[in-house]
Amino acid sequence: MFTTAVDKLLSQFFALSAEERSCILEVLVDSQPINNSDGVESFLSKRLDVSRSGRPACPHCSSLKVVKNGRHCGTQRFICRDCSKSFGWSSGSFFNHCKKEISQWFKYVQCFMDRLPLRECARRCGISLDTSFKWRHRLLDGLQKIHNSVKLTGVVEADEVYFSISYKGSRKFSAQPAGREPKKRGMRSTKRGLSDEKVCVPTAVNLEGKSTGVVCNLGKPTTANLKTALGCKILPGSTLVTDSLGGYPLLAESCKAKHVQIPSKKHKKGIFNIQLINYYHSALKAMTNIRFRGVATKYLNNYIVYNNFVTFAKESFMEKIKILKNEIFTIGVEERSFSVNISKRDPLPLLKDQYLL
């Protein structure tokens, strides 16, 4: 039985193209269980930019004048000759202050890609629920860094989507405005329509699978809101397709993009429609409201990036795993920027309106 299954898998493997096979082999090599305590160290030493001496650059001042400085708890320490600060392989890296095995992180990446609930991720990776939550946001914070540089070209569809304000998980009642009663999931807003009880997320997507979206303002967006959220994301020469909301013509003008505005109660204009952005919104809502049963507004930007990367981006599953391992795992972080301050984030992360100043 076992042999038949292996034979079947091998025949499928050899039916793939050379490029696909090398991609699978790379993932398999990375997924091998690493049992020694130096897992993170050996992973980073192979991937980080190291000077010719095989030592990492100083995470405090980027100097390459670095010498070995003994071992601590089995890991190599270094000292910088310029700033005299001591550090290890994981200092200032994605794995800063992380004491778990790299093999647990590899498992976690699989769970993350499968959009598993936090408890299931924790069970499969042998970590606590609290760590599972912190790891999810550590990965999403890393993705957020990459996402900040996304620019959209070609045919770009833009529209805004609204989420009810949520203080989920906020035990301190001070996070909520005075006079606001706690709400249970699924309860209706007290005000009808687009009110200041809803956060507006202007979003834009293009046909190449690139997408962007950010929590911007409360209620209906002004032109200034749209420019702040999307202005720097749409490149000149693009074709911006939107619905009939008033702010979009000025947004298109400021981006030097051609504007196609679909009249209200119509679904298309010529060959243009906004079906892709509508699909994007329904996938985002399905992820946040159904799969994760509502997310706190303070983490909404991270879940938008989660949806952009896992659901919407056109790269294959394997390519996405490679991005996480090769780009996110090797990303540099500012001291204590991840996880430590995760619960102290702004409960309403609205954008500062640079165009209103």
Complex with Zn ion: residue 83 or 207, whichever CB lies closer: 83
Closer residue to Zn ion, CB minimum distance, 60 or 145: 60
CB of 91 to Zn ion, least distance (A): 11
Nearer to Zn ion, 66 or 251 (CB): 66
Site string for Zn ion, 82-101 (x = CB under 5 A): xx------------------
Whole-Å CA distances, 258 to 185, 225, 249, 341? 41, 20, 9, 42
Three-class DSSP category at 161: strand
* Binds Zn ion by CB under 5 A, chosen from 40, 44, 57, 80: 80
CB of residue 59 vs Zn ion: minimum separation in angstroms? 8
Q: CA 155 to CA 344: how far, in whole Å?
A: 38
Q: Does 60 bind Zn ion (CB under 5 A)?
A: yes
63 vs 278 by CB, closer to Zn ion: 63
The piece of 18-26, 72-80, 95-103, 293-301 that touches Zn ion (CB under 5 A) is 72-80
Where do runs of H (alpha helix) occur along 231-332? 248-255, 275-285, 300-306, 317-323
Which positions from 127 through 146 interact with Zn ion, judged by CB under 5 A?
none
C-alpha–C-alpha distance, residues 151 and 192, integer Å: 35
Torsion angles phi and psi, residue 160, rounded to 5: -110, 155
**Which of 40, 57, 58, 216: binder of Zn ion (CB under 5 A)?**
58
Q: What is the nearest approach in angstroms of Zn ion to the Cβ of residue 95?
A: 19
Q: Which of residues 49 and 181 has its CB atom nearest to Zn ion in the complex?
A: 49
Least Å from the CB of residue 61 to Zn ion: 3
Among 31, 45, 63, 254, binds Zn ion (CB under 5 A): 63
User: Burial letters for 227-248: b for 16+ Cβ neighbours within 10 Å, e otherwise?
Assistant: bbbbbebbeeebbbbbbebebb
For residues 205, 211, 217 and 218, what is the CA-based torsion angle, rounded to 10 degrees? 70
Minimal distance, residue 335 CB to Zn ion, in Å: 13
Strands 155-164 and 198-206 come out as: antiparallel
Our CB check for Zn ion shows the closer of 57 and 127 to be 57
Nearer to Zn ion, 90 or 211 (CB): 90
**For Zn ion, the closer CB: 80 or 251:** 80
Which two structure tokens, joined as six digits, stand for 155?
Answer: 């045919």
Q: Does 67 bind Zn ion (CB under 5 A)?
A: no
Structure token pair of residue 241: 């397709």
**For residue 94, how far is the Cα from the chain centroid?**
14
| Closer by beta carbon to Zn ion, 21 or else 81 | 81
Cβ pair 185, 267 in contact under 8 A: no
Stretch that binds Zn ion, among 58-66, 132-140, 332-340, 343-351 (CB under 5 A): 58-66
Residue 57 binding Zn ion, by CB under 5 A: no
Q: Which stretch binds Zn ion (CB under 5 A): 6-14, 79-87, 241-249, 255-263?
A: 79-87
Segment contacting Zn ion by CB under 5 A, of 50-58, 151-159, 200-208, 239-247: 50-58
Say how many CA atoms lie within 13 Å of 157 toward its Cβ: 22
Which class for 100: exposed (0-12), middle (13-18), buried (19 or more C-beta within 10 A)? middle
CB of 84 vs Zn ion, minimal distance in Å: 7
Distance in Å, CB of 81 to Zn ion, minimum: 8
Look up residue 3 and give its two tokens.
């042999």
Q: Which of 16, 61, 340, 356 is the binder for Zn ion (CB under 5 A)?
A: 61
Q: Which of 292, 288, 285, 306 is nearest to 118 (CA)?
A: 292
Residues binding Zn ion (CB under 5 A): 58, 60-61, 63, 80, 82-83
